[in-house]
Structure 1
Amino acid sequence: MQDFLFRGDIADLDPKLAELIDIEEERQYRRLILIPSESTAPLAVRRALASGFHNIYAEGYSHDFTGGLSEEQIFDYEERLAEYRRYSDNRYYKGVEYADLLEAVACQRAAEAFAANGKTALDIYVNVQPLSGGPANNAVYHGLVNLGDTVLGMNLLHGGHLSHGSHVNRSGEYYNIVSYSVDSETERIDYNEVERLALEHKPKMIIAGVSSYSWKLDWARFREIADKVGAYLLADISHVAGLIVAGVYPSPIGYAHIISSTTHKTLCGPRGAILMSTDRKIIEIINKAVFPGEQGGPHVNVFGAMALAFKLAQTEQFKELQKQIVVNCKVLADRLQERGFRIPFGGTDTHLLNIDTKCIKGKDGAWLSGDMAARILDEAGIVANRNTIPGDKSALNPSGVRMGTPWITQRGFKEAETRQLADIIADILWACEPHYQGRQLRAKVDFSILKKAKLKVRNMAESAGIDYEPGHHGYPHFYYLDDEADEQTANASYLVDGEKVRELVSVSLSPLKKQG
């Protein structure tokens, strides 16, 4: 029979796309990535995303036959398939008998991983269908509060998240948002102030969760406040889920009415999200809010990658990883503070930290913005992101850089390497000279220090762990001062030093300017 199937790998069918993917994988190998919301999913997890489950639809939910079953019972194919053939399920599509089992094992493993505070896996109801963290939180709004209701969440500029009530997000448009902030002196959450706001505004829901606040949250105190005003408590643990599973961060299980989390970040799984509750009535509401309320068919292939990630998260290796992530982050913060940087919020006991770049000032009083600092670090091979810190007025012009240690710790960094990296960061940023160009902030950096730092970063990255064989692409992708001349392109780099180097370069390049 003649078919219409496209056969061959990516390189056969689309060489340019294959090369782009290869270059991005090499970027992840050659860079030291400090974005706290990023990690590298294990190779097996990435491969699970490409399974045949990708091809099918599975709108809706199966019958609750698999709820409360052990993994051994879920994988009892004879029993489960007999149930399916007799009763089918509630989904709109057929041909989902194995998708039912995959979703069941993902939910069961998630419940096992997050069981805590006297609650077992049997006490935790899980939904693994949200496509990402934003839709997961939107489903909670959809299910538990009405349009115009009051919601109390953390100020985005002080460490909250867009979906916790920012005016540029639908949560800020559809609901009456009251925001709590950190104390102006201590830069810590003042729970008494949170309680005062709750008593004054009587929110229908309180959100406890952060994206850049660097201290552990007090779930019991948040629940106490919620109970005083009859509010639901949503714990958004997207950033710290891996730490929670490993026991190095307190769990909101048993405190929060509903818990949302992404499955990447510190969980080191695929891009997706889950919702959990110990209240069956609440999870039934949430399930309807996810489908059909918020989205259509879930990404079934992601269930498989989640299931594997949740299994790995229960290993001793994962627990040691999470412990080291926190240790490394504290080392990074302490060393940067020793090198003269102010650490917003006063420090960290989690996976992330922030640095205040306003301390770097130019001769004309200009200060180094968070965006300029992040861009210059990126030139050296250190990847971070600009971020607001307490005192900033706009997310468009923040004075902070946010950093985290999940990815470098996965690759093998311990205290010594992290301290060395902190020194490289400090060397680069203190070599920056901010200045005004008209009314615009600008910055330049000592070229020699930048390029030497880039070599150090390259050497550290090449000695760190990797779970695949990276490609090799030179200029314009990855290039260094000590690169050998490229015979094919005649590209070469030269290190020129001396008092009259500027004059030499100017004279040498003047013929090129005339030709151009």
Structure 2
Amino acid sequence: MNDFLFPEDLEQLDPAVAELIRLEEERQARKLILIPSESYTPRAVRQALGSVFTNIYAEGYPLPETRWMTEEQILDYEAHMAFYRRYGDLRYYMGVEYADVAEALARRRCAEAFATEAIPANHIYVNVQPLSGAPANIAVYEALLKPGDVIMGMNLTHGGHLTHGAPANVSGQRYRAVFYGVDPRTELIDYDQVEDLALEHRPRIIIAGYTSYPRAPDWAKFREIADRVGAYLLADIAHVAGMVAAGAYPTPLGHAHVITFTTHKTLCGPRGACILTTDPLLARRIDHAVFPGLQGGPHVNTFVAMAVAFRLARTGKFRRLQYQIVANAKALARALTEEGLRVAYGGTDSHLLVVDCKTVRGPFGEPLLGDTAARVLDLVGIVCNRNTLPGDPSPALASGIRLGTPWVTQRGLGEPEMAELAHLIARILKSIRPYTYPGRQGPIHRGKVEFDALEEARLAVSELASRAAVDYEVRCTGYPHHCLITDTQPPAAEWGLIELEGNAVVAFLGHLLVEE
């Protein structure tokens, strides 16, 4: 019999993609990744994600009673298979007997991971089907709102998220968005402003939860304001879900009507999202909004990977990781402040912090902007992203960089290494000479760095990264992927004269050279 199964390994079938994956493995090992929304997914989770559950469709949901089953009952295959053969289930496809187990197991383990003494797992309704955080938030809006209703979230430049009503997002186009922010003096949430805006605009949903505001919200105060105006409280804990599950960050459970979060940030799981509520009527509306409202077939392979991640989330090792993530973020914030850089919002309660790059000025007073800072840091092996601060005119002119500690903490770095890292970050940022030149739509901000300073920082970051743990063998491919002097060979012959021609030679040399 001739089959069409393509049984070859990736290396045999597509060596170009196999090499691409190896290059990305090397990048992740040789650089220090400080993007707060990224973490290292454990091997067991990746194995589950790449399993044969990728192959199937399973539109619909498991039977409702599986929500109250214990893990032992869910995994009782004799009882499950007998019931399935006799009665079937509620899905639109056959062949989903094990998909039902996978989704029920992920839901149960999620509920147990976030349960508290006051609210046990049996009182938590979980939907694990949203493909990511944005679809999860939109599903909640679809379940609870009508077009044109008012939603209230944090201003994007103060630390909110696109799906909290930003004009560029469907949430700001389908609904009328009102924004609260931070007090300009304290850089903390202005709860008086939140209450005044709520009383004035009567939102149907108030959203608490942030992408760059590093302080813990007062969940009880938000619920008090929501109750006063008859609004639902949505807690978007995408960034801090791992810390919430570990007890290292205040839980919104018991305060928020609905909770959303992604599973691939501090939870260290697969790319996906969950929606939690303790209200069975809201749960029914949310389930319908996810499917068939927004999505078709769910990703069953993600269910099994989530199940593994939620099991890990209940271990002592995971709890220690989350507390260390917070300790490292606080240590990094302190050390950066001691190095003379301004940490916005006065510090952090979580895994992230934002550095105000305007601390660094050029010879004529030009401020260092976040994009320039992030690009230079990436050149030396420190990966972060530009981020707006309150008062910035637009994300394109963001004046901050956002730093997070999940990934480096997973790799074993602690508070002493955070001091080293802060020194490296401060040294390279202070070595940048910001400048501007005219562009068609306004000044273009750039920065120049002495080559020696850049190379010294690269070597120091490389040495620190080499001390951090990885669970695979790391190659050293050298140029053009990683540009260290130690990775390159001297030229075979002396350079001769280089002649430049064209209309943009001066501009080119202005980009290329450190000196004017």
TM-score (norm: length of structure 1): 0.94
Paired residues of 1:451 and 1:480 also in contact (CA < 8 A)? yes
Question: 1:280 is matched with which residue?
Answer: 280
Partner of 2:127: 127
Question: Does the 8 Å CA contact 2:126/2:275 hold for their aligned counterparts?
Answer: yes
CA deviation map 1:427-458 (0-9, x unaligned): 10000001122332221012111111111111
Residues in 1 aligned to 2:250 and 2:492: alpha-carbon distance in whole angstroms: 53
SS of residue matched to 2:68: coil
Q: Distance in 2 between matches of 1:421 and 1:492?
A: 36
**Does the 8 A contact of 2:357 with 2:373 survive in 1?**
yes
Give, in angstroms, the shift of residue 470 of structure 1. 2.7
Which residue of the partner structure matches residue 419 of structure 1?
419
Query: Identity, % of aligned pairs?
Result: 57
Whether the 8 Å contact between 1:130 and 1:274 is mirrored in structure 2 is yes
Deviation at 1:166, TM superposition (A): 0.4
How many angstroms does 1:281 deviate by? 0.6
> How far apart are 1:482 and its partner, in Å?
2.1
Q: Is the 8 A contact 2:143 2:289 kept in 1?
A: yes
Could you say which residue in structure 2 is the equivalent of 1:79? 79
Following TM superposition, by how much is the alpha carbon of 1:467 offset from its aligned partner in structure 2, in angstroms?
1.4
Cα contact 1:434–1:444 (8 A) shared by 2? yes
1:399 alignment partner in structure 2:
399
Whichever residue aligns with residue 205 of structure 2, its letter is M
| Distance in 2 (alpha carbons) for counterparts of 1:491 and 1:290 | 59
Residue 94 of structure 1 aligns with which residue? Answer: 94
User: Per the alignment, in what secondary structure is the counterpart of residue 22 of structure 2?
Assistant: helix
CA RMSD, aligned part only? 1.5
Q: SS of the counterpart of 1:478? A: coil
Corresponding residue for 1:497? none
- Alpha-carbon separation, structure 2, partners of 1:51 and 1:156: 38
In the aligned structure 2, how far is the partner of 1:201 from the partner of 1:132?
29
Q: Does 1:270 align with 2:270?
A: yes
Deviates more, 1:149-158 or 1:438-447: 438-447
Whole-angstrom CA distance in 1 between matches of 2:437 and 2:501 = 29
CA contact (8 A) 2:165 2:177 kept: yes
Deviation at 1:47, TM superposition (A): 1.1
> What is the distance in 2 between the residues matched to 1:82 and 1:134?
38
For residue 46 of structure 1, report the CA deviation from its aligned partner: 0.8
How far did 1:123 drift? 0.8
Please name the residue that 1:500 is paired with: none
Superposition map of 1:323-334 within 5 A: 323-334=323-334
Return 203-212 or 117-126, whichever deviates more.
Answer: 117-126
Contact kept in structure 2, 1:246 and 1:313, CA below 8 Å? yes
- Corresponding residue for residue 242 of structure 2: 242
User: Does residue 370 in structure 1 map to residue 356 in structure 2?
Assistant: no
Q: Could you tell me how far apart the structure 2 residues matched to 1:452 and 1:418 are? A: 18
Q: Distance in 1 between matches of 2:368 and 2:117?
A: 45
Whether contact under 8 Å (1:382, 1:457) holds in the other structure is: yes
Q: How does 1:170-319 map to 2 (within 5 A)?
A: 170-319=170-319
Cα deviation, residue 397, structure 1: 1.1
How many Å apart are 1:406 and its aligned residue? 0.4
Aligned length: 498
Which amino acid counterpart does residue 444 of structure 2 have in structure 1? Q
Where does residue 15 of structure 1 map in the other structure?
15
1:451 aligns with 2:437: no
For residue 354 of structure 2, give the secondary structure of its aligned residue in structure 1.
strand
SS, match of residue 153 in structure 2: strand
**Shift, 1:17, TM fit:** 0.8
What is aligned with 1:39? 39
**What is aligned with 1:505?**
none
Offset at residue 161 of structure 1 (A): 0.3
Match for 1:511: what amino acid? L
Cα 1:85/1:159, change in 2 over 3 Å: same
> Contact 2:235–2:256 (CA<8 Å) still a contact in 1?
yes
Which segments of 5 or more consecutive residues in structure 1 lack a partner in the other structure?
494-507
CA contact (8 A) 2:479 2:487 kept: no
Kindly indicate whether the alpha-carbon contact (under 8 Å) linking 1:131 and 1:272 is maintained by their aligned counterparts in 2.
yes
Q: Which amino acid aligns with 1:353?
A: L
Amino acid at match of 2:177: I
Show the counterpart of 1:338: 338
Q: SS in structure 1 opposite 2:234?
A: strand
Letter in 1 for 2:278: T
Cα drift, residue 415 of structure 1: 0.7
Partner secondary structure for residue 3 of structure 2: coil
Matches within 5 A, 1:482-501: 482-483=486-487, 485=489
> Is contact 1:344–1:390 with CA below 8 Å preserved after alignment?
no
1:65 Cα deviation after fit: 3.4
Structure 1 counterpart of 2:2, one-letter code: Q
Q: Letter of the aligned partner of 1:351 in structure 2?
A: H
The answer on whether the counterparts of 2:62 and 2:103 sit within 8 Å (CA) in structure 1 is no
The gaps in structure 2 that reach 5 residues or longer are: 503-516
3-state SS of paired residue (1:476): coil
1:473 aligned onto 2:477: yes
Matched, 1:320 2:330: no
After superposition, what is the alpha-carbon deviation per residue over 1:357-379, rounded to whole angstroms, capped at 9, x for unaligned? 11111112211110000000000
Rounded Cα–Cα distance in structure 2 between residues aligned with 1:33 and 1:130: 26
Deviation at 1:484, TM superposition (A): 5.7
Assess, with a 3 A threshold, how the Cα gap between structure 1 residues 201 and 447 changes in structure 2: closer, same or farther. Answer: same
Q: Which residue of 2 aligns with 1:511?
A: 497
Q: Aligned to 2:146, what secondary structure does the other structure show?
A: coil
Given that residues 117 and 251 in structure 1 are in contact (C-alpha distance below 8 angstroms), is that contact kept between their aligned partners in structure 2?
no
2:130·2:274 contact (CA, 8 Å) conserved in 1? yes
Distance 1:140 1:316 in 2: 32
Deviation of 1:491 after TM superposition, in Å, equals 6.0
One-letter amino acid of the counterpart of residue 452, structure 2: S
Alpha-carbon distance change, 175 to 514 in structure 1, aligned in 2, over 3 angstroms: closer
**Offset, 1:171:** 0.3
State the distance in 2 between where 1:401 and 1:410 align: 21
CA contact (8 A) 1:117 1:253 kept: no
1:399-427: CA deviations, max 9, x gaps? 00000000000000111111101100001
Distance 1:420 1:469, change over 3 A: same
**Does structure 1 conserve the Cα–Cα contact (< 8 Å) formed by 2:36 and 2:352?**
yes
Q: Cα distance, 1:510 vs. partner?
A: 4.5
- Check the 8 A contact 2:478/2:488 in 1, yes or no: no
Deviation at 1:479, TM superposition (A): 2.8
Q: Secondary structure at the match of 1:265?
A: coil
In structure 2, distance between residues paired with 1:84 and 1:208: 41
- CA-CA distance at 1:461 after TM superposition: 1.0
- Residue 349 of structure 1: CA displacement? 1.3
AA in 2 matched with 1:470 = V
**Counterparts of 1:271 and 1:484, CA distance in 2:** 37
AA partner of residue 457 (structure 1): V
Partners of 1:364 and 1:436 within 8 A in 2: no
The CA distance in 1 between the partners of 2:178 and 2:501, in whole Å, is 61
The superposition leaves residues 90-109 of structure 1 with CA deviations (integer Å, 9 ceiling, x where unpaired) of: 11111000000000000000
Q: CA deviation at 1:509?
A: 4.2
Residue 460 (structure 1) aligned with residue 446 (structure 2) = no
After the TM superposition, which of the residue ranges 70-79 and 112-121 deviates more from structure 2? 112-121
Paired amino acid for 2:33: I
In the alignment, the residues of structure 1 paired with residue 247 and residue 115 of structure 2 have an alpha-carbon distance, to the nearest angstrom, of: 11
